[in-house]
């Protein structure tokens, strides 16, 4: 699939143009480098700002309408019965990429040992782990409270090819969702 735009789309410092499967005037949706569960995607404003409060009213409206549209497709194509929709807003809330993004994670019954386990998984994602390590080294976190290194370490980043394929598929499925509306 050719990129949806000739502009380079950035997610924080990363160029993610080929991972983008949906584009609006102010937002975009991209496939995840390290999904926590199959179908875990992200929706971001096109403007790179770290905090939710940095967004204009028009950006908030566009972002949330995009989250709603994308989540409809994700729930359908991953045959889910529920969704986690989450924003980690700021480093101390677990944000690792300083560019606003909403996580959309399709869920089904018994997909994890506990439905809430997803929050711990989100918290211990790479960047957060790096932050925790930094804090530990700065002596900010008591050793005993340092969270166990999670399965994220074993979650390999996906290949460009894998991500492009998924982006192409989701781009086509977005059009199908629109037809049904």
Residues belonging to the active site: 101
The answer to whether 171 and 1 are in contact (CB under 8 A) is yes
Query: Is residue 32 marked as binding?
Result: yes
Residue 180 Cβ, how far from ligand AMW at the closest point, in Å? 27
Residue 9 Cβ, how far from ligand AMW at the closest point, in Å? 11
Residue 43 Cβ, how far from ligand AMW at the closest point, in Å? 11
Bridge-partner residues for 107, per DSSP? 82
Kindly list the residues in this chain that would bind ligand AMW in the complex (CB under 6 A): 11, 14, 16, 19, 30, 32-34, 42, 88, 94-97, 125, 127-128
The answer to whether 4 and 19 are in contact (CB under 8 A) is no
Strands 82-87 and 41-45, by their bridges, are unpaired
* Residue 155 phi, psi dihedral angles, 5° rounding: -85, 105
DSSP H/E element including 161: helix 160-180
d(CA 24, CA 28): 6
Query: Is residue 70 marked as binding?
Result: no
Decide whether 16 or 26 has the Cβ nearer to ligand AMW. Answer: 16
Query: Is residue 16 marked as binding?
Result: no
Going by the annotation, the residues of the binding site are 32, 88, 94-97, 103
Going by the annotation, the residues of the binding site for substrate are 32, 88, 94-97, 103
């Amino acid at each position: 699939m050719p990129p949806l735009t000739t502009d380079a789309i950035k997610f924080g410092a990363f160029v993610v143009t080929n991972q983008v499967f949906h584009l609006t005037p102010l937002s975009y949706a991209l496939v995840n480098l390290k999904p926590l569960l199959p179908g875990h995607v992200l929706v971001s404003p096109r403007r790179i700002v770290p905090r939710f409060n940095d967004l204009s009213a028009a950006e908030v409206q566009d972002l949330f309408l995009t989250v709603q549209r994308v989540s409809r497709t994700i729930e359908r194509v991953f045959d889910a019965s529920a969704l986690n929709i989450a924003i980690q807003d700021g480093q101390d809330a677990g944000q690792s990429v300083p560019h606003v993004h909403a996580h959309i994670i399709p869920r089904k019954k018994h997909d994890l040992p506990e439905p809430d386990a997803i929050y711990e998984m989100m918290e211990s994602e790479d960047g957060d782990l790096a932050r925790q390590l930094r804090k530990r080294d700065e002596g900010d976190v008591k050793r005993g409270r340092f969270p166990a290194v999670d399965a994220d370490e074993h979650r390999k980043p996906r290949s460009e090819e894998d991500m492009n394929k998924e982006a192409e598929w989701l781009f086509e499925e977005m059009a199908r969702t629109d037809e049904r509306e």
